[in-house]
Structure 1
Amino acid sequence: MSKATDFNDLAQIAGHNAVKATIDKALADVAATSTAAKPPLSEWPDPHLPGMVKAPEIPASILPGWLGAMAGAVADSTQTPPALAVMVGLSVLAAVLQRRFEVAPFADDYTEPLALWTLTALPSGARKSAVFSAMTAPLLRWEKLEYDRGRAERGRVASARKVAEKRIERLLADAAKAKDDHERERIRAEIQHERDTMPAELRAPRLFTEDVTAERLQAMLAEYGERMALLSDEAGIFQIMAGIYSGGNANLDAFLKGHAGTAMRVDRAGREAHVDKPALSFGLALQPGVLSEVAASRRFRDSGLLARFLFAMPASNVGKRDVRRRVAIPNHVRDDYEVALFRLLEDVPAVPGKPRALPMTEPAVELWADFAQEIEDHQGEGGRFEAISDWTSKLPGAVARVAALLELAEVGRHAEAVSAVATERAVALGRLLIPHAQAAFGLLGTDGVDADASAIVKWVQANGLTEFSRRDCQKSLSGRFRTQERMTKALDRLQQQDALRHYTKRNKGAPASEMCLVNPKLLS
């Protein structure tokens, strides 16, 4: 008998039940393929493409006690996203505690300084200045009180220095008139003695500034206990760092070393000074357009400067505020905030010593290490965080810093170790900040794979494609994709970003097709 070639032949050979079973199996395979490849809209997550990421709200409750209460009250009073007050609050906390403490997660020689860099992007008119004013007011008040308290002593030291300087001038004149070498050497010895015994210049303590060049920053770190913070809602410092005003040649070392706590040498009035452990914190709020402007400087990202910032990209309340609504910050909330900061500022040494290292408790280390490993597992090639791996590689360290800051905020400066409670808060914040960073880097510029992926998305949207074959994609975008490898990287990136899914389509009498199913939310 000849080989069966259709259902009639099959029926003659095996009967009608065999035909029915074959058809049922084929229909089941088709249904399974269709179901696997084309899930309903509700089963698709939101695509997280650069520039399209919807960042979650950062609630004030992420911060503990008095700090969270103040952040929430400021956000409510100013009708601004809580994320802004949260980020500024963390930077204020870092300004107060940096250089005096550090965190040692494993209680060994791996430590993280408590300097913290935060950047919130909001448009003009979003009341950024009002938030900064409320959150930094206690720092200004503390600086003024310290200035007044030390006025008499600074005056005494300044007078003593002037007397010594005048005496040195007279001795120099005498040395020039000396009759012989013996007399000249005697005068030189007196000059050196005057210089050695001259009291060091006293400066009123200072916690932060708003705008400073890299060169002046180095001097300030030497002058103010090796610590300084830049808290500003203006773009000046950000543009200075990017080198916009210096032909792209800004000295970034002072900024980078201030984040890492790396020693630097500073030339001050012709004399070299050493800054052993500089601590520099940032709390910035800028317009999104400024970020885009700065992104033109590739050096800004390549140096690792951008990767050090914790970004917040909240939705703006502009156009949604109630102009008649007036809610004052409760006095007790404002007072508690100031009192707590003042307590943390007690016993600030004039001359910096060795920072006190806070270890993590065992449960805290486990929480932090689990988070760090999770980040590590997804930032390699093909991972979810590959496009921002320069940023995610620094995230666990930043989370450890935040955990220590929150522990000190809640327990006080006598805290002995970072608890699991503080670490849990810091990890939760770290998770929230990931989509904010993805949104920020989408605004700042993407890598080559993201650019290729964006070209595919534009092609899909322009043609209203719900699915497409890899072959059609390469054919339509042949000018961009000269090799399969380049296109595959872009398609894999889009799958990582939940923009599409790969599947294999069986073709009757022909080879199977490698297909891509488009997330319907890309077309809505």
Structure 2
Amino acid sequence: MATNPSMAARLDAANETTGEAPRPLYRELPPASAFPVDALGPVLGKAAKAIEAVVQCPLACAANSVLAVASLAAQGRANVILPIGQGKPSPLSLFLLTVLDSGERKSSADSMALKPVRDTEREIAELEAGQRHAYDVKVASYEASAKHLTAKLKSDRAALEAALRELGPAPQPPLLSVLAPSGDQTVEGLFRIYQFGRPSLAMLCDDAATFLGGHSLKAEQKVGTTANLCRAWDGSKLERIRGGDGVIVLYDRRLASHLMVQSGVAADFLSDAQFADQGLLARFLVSSPAGRAGTRFRDDAAYQVVTRRAALDLEDYNVAVASLLRQPVRWKNESDRTLGVELDALHFTPEARALYVEFANAIEAELTPRGTLANAKAFASKLPENAARIAGILTLMAEPDAQTDGAADLADAIELVKHYLEEASRIMATGAIDPELRRAETLREWLLSLPGDVIGLRDVYRLGPNSIRQADRARSAMTILCEHGWARERKGRCDRRHCASNGMGDRPVLNFDPHRWIAEREGQTVATVATVATVATVATVATVATVATVAAPSAKNEKANSPEPLATVATVATLPDASEVQRTLDSWCDAFNALSPLRPATGFTMGRWQTLYDCAAWWLENFARRAAWEGWSTGDVFGIRPGYPARGGLIDQLGDNRSLVMADGGARWRSWGIMSSYAAGCSPHLEPFWKGQ
């Protein structure tokens, strides 16, 4: 952000009039130590260096990207056996967090690291396409046989049961090709993939703000999502309880995660008390390297040489990841995939076991109230297990058929987790992740770019940075700036025109006028809505809306600044009959319950069908009752326009988006920063998607 020279000079000279220089809002982060890339081993270490050289991103960013992909590849192959009790299996799943600002080429680094994953997904998709027709034939044959046996033996129950047992279970569909979902990701979506896809997945987000600020982590979903993520890291069973689906339990599912976020988003995430209390933060290995933007100059001839060398260095990495991902899934019961998979066991050698115990004891000694790790107790207590997981990953990347975990790999893993511990301690010790201080610093930088001396609260939350465009946040941020000497409160009521054109000359400190927003509010329109609702079996609602409008001052009384008389309009809404609403709800639910996520209607690809199916399930659970009361038709909600994807009804337009707000017969949602809207009655003529296209 550009800084206004005169404003900057006045702020820098604050001590000349106040006697005290403005104080920093928080301590700057001390520089991060160098990432121990050689501890990643010959395969991952060379890959990380190659990505850093080509993309010119921080080395820690490239290292976390390859480590996350390696975790995805290894976690579906084996567990590492911790020396606890008779041996405790631990997944090879890692949760990584990289904190980097925009422009640091996080996406490019992730894209290079993901190449063997995307290539494998394409191979699986081609195989799935060939198996899909065979599966449809088997299902049709199975259903016909079962129907024939039922009709033939309906009078002999014992014979029918014997015949159906002999017929066997229904055919299983081919696995979905998804290994690392892209785009908007939700825990609900991951659960759906686990049901019908492979048991090992990765949540790799190069812009994790879409996840951390998405539907899964809204207030009403946050506790459940956090608990599911913790269970996924632990390797525990995953459960989902729904009215329509009943109870679904999945065993042996694995999830690797790498979230890349800007510093502001990371501050909110790392300072969230609920994430900390539920133990999610303690499971993440965090890196916050220095950015390289502004230093990435290159000589093109030399860069071409670097690129060719990097391609060779990435070959071993690509082959190792692909070989692990291509291994067949060993289901415990092919007919019931919810029961999980068979995974190999990686046991420590005696030397590795002794090293693990020594490291665990050293960590434990520092967890006392006076220990060096007392403030990072939750994070530090999981370091030995994270080290064991990383050691198992390094072992399998070098030798896919390994059965033991050696001391050399564990020693490298311990060096890596020590670096992550240093990073976590560095961030926590500064206190720089307080979101209120972060917002105040953002506001301070914005104020430095302004030409004037006086700013009103209303202008702060109306024109200021997006993160403080709320009155309470703006007021809090300005209070912090005042407390730290970056602004001072201007006493007394301020005339609006005077505030706008006030030339404060060489006054050194920005003036904050707490009354200006009151002055500017005069002459604006004020709307008051009173709603009374009575809810019965479905709902019986009576709504009375009273709107009071304050007219703008007329020319004759503008000097006196006296408003015109109030105009009050009372309206009574007309709502449908309760029985009609219930019929609408029943018709929607009956139609949806007849669908299968694996049996697309005519004209749909599997991908688009499942997008519509998942969105419809989510919408019915959260918004159907309100929509029925507000008069939404089947076409408005579920309609499609054949040949024009995402141009039909509400569900078709939403797709994977879960930021929907519905009120007063309208719907609004935000996608990529753009607000979209849709209203009841727009498309009643459209046919619902389940009728095909």
Q: 1:260 aligns with which of 223, 229, 234?
A: 234
- Asked if 1:312 corresponds to 2:292, the answer is no
- Residues 437-491 of structure 1 deviation map (CA, whole Å, 9 limit, x = unaligned): 1234344459xxxxxxxxxxxxxx99xxxxxxxxxxxxxxxxxxxxxxxxxxxxx
Q: 1:366 to 1:190 in 2, by over 3 A?
A: closer
Give the match for residue 29 of structure 2: 52
Give the match for residue 90 of structure 1: 67
Q: 1:241 to 1:298 in 2, by over 3 A?
A: farther
Give the match for residue 364 of structure 1: 352
Query: Bigger CA drift: 381-390 or 325-334?
Result: 325-334
Q: 1:145 to 1:247 in 2, by over 3 A?
A: closer
Give the match for residue 573 of structure 2: none
Query: Bigger CA drift: 428-437 or 341-350?
Result: 341-350
Give the match for residue 394 of structure 2: 406
Contact preservation (8 Å) 1:240, 1:250: no
Structure of greater relative contact order (alpha carbons < 8 Å, 6+ residues apart): 1
Matches within 5 A, 1:21-420: 52-106=29-83, 108-162=86-140, 164=142, 183=155, 197-210=169-182, 211-235=184-208, 236-240=210-214, 243-244=217-218, 246=220, 248-266=222-240, 270=245, 272-295=247-270, 297-322=272-297, 324-325=299-300, 326=303, 327-328=306-307, 330=309, 331-349=311-329, 351=331, 352-410=340-398, 412-420=399-407
CA distance in 1, matches of 2:122, 2:102: 30
Length, aligned pairs only: 393
- Residues 58-85 of structure 1 deviation map (CA, whole Å, 9 limit, x = unaligned): 1432211122111101001111111111
Q: 1:273 to 1:376 in 2, by over 3 A?
A: same
**1:92 shift after superposition:** 0.5
Contact preservation (8 Å) 1:59, 1:82: no
**1:408 shift after superposition:** 1.2
Contact preservation (8 Å) 2:37, 2:48: yes
Q: 1:251 to 1:106 in 2, by over 3 A?
A: closer
Contact preservation (8 Å) 1:256, 1:305: yes
Q: Secondary structure at the match of 2:289?
A: coil
Q: 2:410 aligns with which of 423, 431, 439?
A: 423
AA paired with 1:149?
L
Q: Secondary structure at the match of 2:296?
A: coil
AA paired with 2:345?
A
Give the match for residue 491 of structure 1: none
Q: 1:79 to 1:344 in 2, by over 3 A?
A: same
Q: 1:267 to 1:246 in 2, by over 3 A?
A: closer
TM, length-normalised to structure 2: 0.52
Contact preservation (8 Å) 1:217, 1:254: no
Give the match for residue 438 of structure 2: none
AA paired with 1:243?
L
Q: Secondary structure at the match of 2:174?
A: coil
CA distance in 2, matches of 1:190, 1:415: 45
CA distance in 2, matches of 1:167, 1:125: 60
Q: 1:295 to 1:341 in 2, by over 3 A?
A: closer
Contact preservation (8 Å) 1:225, 1:350: no
CA distance in 1, matches of 2:215, 2:381: 22
Q: Secondary structure at the match of 1:209?
A: coil
- Residues 477-513 of structure 1 deviation map (CA, whole Å, 9 limit, x = unaligned): xxxxxxxxxxxxxxxxxxxxxxxxxxxxxxxxxxxxx
**1:203 shift after superposition:** 1.8
Matches within 5 A, 1:472-483: none
Q: Secondary structure at the match of 2:404?
A: coil
Contact preservation (8 Å) 1:248, 1:297: no
Give the match for residue 509 of structure 1: none
Contact preservation (8 Å) 2:286, 2:424: yes
TM, length-normalised to structure 1: 0.67
AA paired with 2:290?
A
Q: 1:194 to 1:110 in 2, by over 3 A?
A: closer
Contact preservation (8 Å) 1:74, 1:329: no
- Residues 86-123 of structure 1 deviation map (CA, whole Å, 9 limit, x = unaligned): 11111111101114211124383223211111111110
- Residues 100-150 of structure 1 deviation map (CA, whole Å, 9 limit, x = unaligned): 211124383223211111111110000001100100011110111122134
CA distance in 1, matches of 2:271, 2:381: 23
Contact preservation (8 Å) 1:218, 1:254: no
Query: Bigger CA drift: 49-58 or 257-266?
Result: 49-58
Q: Which one has a larger percent helix, Structure 1 or Structure 2?
A: 1
Contact preservation (8 Å) 1:96, 1:207: no
Give the match for residue 434 of structure 1: 421
Contact preservation (8 Å) 1:214, 1:250: no
Q: 1:158 to 1:191 in 2, by over 3 A?
A: farther
Q: 1:86 to 1:329 in 2, by over 3 A?
A: farther
Query: Bigger CA drift: 161-170 or 245-254?
Result: 161-170
Contact preservation (8 Å) 2:81, 2:90: yes
Q: 1:417 to 1:443 in 2, by over 3 A?
A: farther
Q: Secondary structure at the match of 2:342?
A: coil
Structure 2 residue ranges without an equivalent (≥5): 1-25, 332-339, 436-483, 486-693
Q: 1:182 to 1:363 in 2, by over 3 A?
A: closer
- Residues 206-227 of structure 1 deviation map (CA, whole Å, 9 limit, x = unaligned): 3222342222222322333432
Contact preservation (8 Å) 1:113, 1:279: yes
**1:165 shift after superposition:** 5.1
AA paired with 1:259?
W
CA distance in 2, matches of 1:266, 1:319: 48
Q: 1:190 to 1:444 in 2, by over 3 A?
A: farther
Q: Secondary structure at the match of 2:213?
A: helix
Contact preservation (8 Å) 1:80, 1:317: yes
Contact preservation (8 Å) 1:408, 1:415: yes
CA distance in 1, matches of 2:271, 2:196: 34
- Residues 32-78 of structure 1 deviation map (CA, whole Å, 9 limit, x = unaligned): xxxxxxxxxxxxxxxxx986343212143221112211110100111
AA paired with 1:368?
Y
Give the match for residue 505 of structure 1: none
Q: Secondary structure at the match of 1:71?
A: helix
Q: 1:370 to 1:241 in 2, by over 3 A?
A: farther
CA distance in 2, matches of 1:445, 1:162: 59
